[in-house]
Amino acid sequence: MRPANIVTSVADVLAGVAISGYFVNLPVTTGSLFPVALLCLSTMCLYAGGIVFNDIFDAELDKVERPERPIPSGAVSITEATVLGTLLIVLGIIFGFSQSVPSGIIALAIALFAFLYNKVSKPYAFFGPLNMGICRGLNLLLGISIVIPSLDKWYYLAIVPVIYIFSITMISRGEVHGSSKRNLYIGGFLYLVVIFAIHLISGQQGHKIMLFTLLFLLPFAWMIYQPLFKAIKEPVGKNIGAAVKAGVISLILMDAAWAAAFGAIWVAVFIACLLPVSLRFARVFAVT
């Protein structure tokens, strides 16, 4: 289920909630945090379920390329994985609809696009990464849906995580056998587009907000580019895998920057505090 990655999906939703303005002048009570908890549970189940089905559909290929994974190693059967994945997906959709109909529809869309990626689009050089990016873009919208009118105002921001995940997924295609430098250079350029997009949006909120956002954007840039430069220098599977792993986990810092860009300072700090949690999980469980 990739626990380290699940933490990043929670960060996506919290960033979306911050973008919606839900946290502005919000009294912290059980009642006010309950909708946030529902959306976090929804994304956790959807992401975990999607990853389980990823391993189900890749079971035959993993016998050759990644025999250490749970299904090819014999630790988990296809039937057990299918039951688990289905339960997680259904729970994710239920949690979404428990919050609101728009949230439920977005949760359902995430499940459908995850299935589409696992079953159909993954082998395609362009549509596979785009499909995966759409899943993350919808995940941000899932958080924004906590304030339904905000979806009409900020829906276009989903293009930023689409671009970012597109680049990571494209880079990851060389994770097993290595890659040409072309994909790595394209990924590096798209990373830059994402950073400047968030920086530009933060600048529209005022000088102080822009400076505060940089406190998260700069370490985000460092975290993704350091391993990417190493992979460009030597594009072998090990280095590309490290670049992909850093790209996935650093989503937490990107989400913290989103929250900061919309003035949700304490939410940004809280999201950033999820980084060591994800890193800790990454030491024990696979990220890719």
- Residue written as token pair 């785009």: 130
**Does the structure show a pLDDT above 60 at 85?**
yes
List, for residues 136-178, the tens digit of each pLDDT value.
Answer: 999 999 999 999 999 999 999 999 999 999 999 888 876 655 5
Total tally of structural domains belonging to the chain? 1
Dihedral sign from CA coordinates of 189, 194, 200, 202:
negative
User: Amino acid identity of 73?
Assistant: S
Question: What gap in Å lies between CA 139 and CA 133, rounded to an integer?
Answer: 10
Residue type, 63: K
Q: For 37-41, 52-56, 66-70, which range has the lowest pLDDT when averaged over its residues?
A: 66-70
Can you give the residue range of the structural domain that contains 10?
3-284
Q: What local confidence, expressed as pLDDT, does residue 179 receive?
A: 60
Task: Provide the CATH number for the domain around residue 173.
Answer: 1.10.357.140
- The residue assigned the tokens 């670049």 is 243
Mean pLDDT value of segment 40-59: 96
104: helix, strand or coil: helix
Q: What is the pTM of this model?
A: 0.93
For the cut 70, the answer to whether the pLDDT of residue 29 exceeds it is: no
Q: How confident is the model at residue 24 (pLDDT cuts 50, 70, 90)?
A: confident
Among 36-45, 127-136, 173-182, which is the least confidently predicted range? 173-182
Between 195 and 236, whose confidence is greater? Answer: 195
